[in-house]
């Protein structure tokens, strides 16, 4: 008997395309066949305010947040 998969919201935040983070989380989630990921990608993020708004959305649905940020300003403390 196949059980229904658990839907999990995955928020991908990047200050570029987000392709690297998306590839990494996709590779990881292959190991968890009981999960059906719902990807929400946010590329080209440039401000802390944008990040805070995305984190608020993720928190509302108890989502997983994956990020790939080259900008030191965005990565330091804004996701803490």
Q: Please write the tens of the pLDDT for every residue from 10-49.
A: 999 999 999 999 999 999 999 998 999 999 999 999 999 9
49: domain range? 6-75
- Number of domains comprising the chain: 1
Element (H, E) at 23: helix 19-29
**pTM score above 0.75:** yes
End-to-end CA distance of the chain: 41
3-state secondary structure of 41: strand
Q: Indicate whether 14 belongs to any domain.
A: yes
Q: Indicate whether 1 belongs to any domain.
A: no
Residue 23 sits in a domain whose CATH number is: 3.40.50
DSSP code of residue 76: S
Residue 75 has pLDDT above 80, yes or no: no
Q: Indicate whether 40 belongs to any domain.
A: yes
Q: Indicate whether 68 belongs to any domain.
A: yes
Q: Indicate whether 69 belongs to any domain.
A: yes
């Amino acid at each position: 008997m196949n059980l229904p998969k658990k839907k999990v919201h995955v928020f991908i935040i990047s200050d570029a395309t987000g392709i690297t983070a998306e590839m990494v989380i996709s590779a990881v989630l292959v190991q968890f066949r009981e999960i059906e990921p719902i990807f929400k990608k946010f590329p080209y993020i440039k401000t802390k305010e944008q990040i805070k708004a995305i984190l608020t959305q993720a928190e509302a649905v108890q989502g997983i947040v994956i990020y790939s940020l080259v900008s030191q300003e965005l990565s330091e403390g804004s996701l803490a």
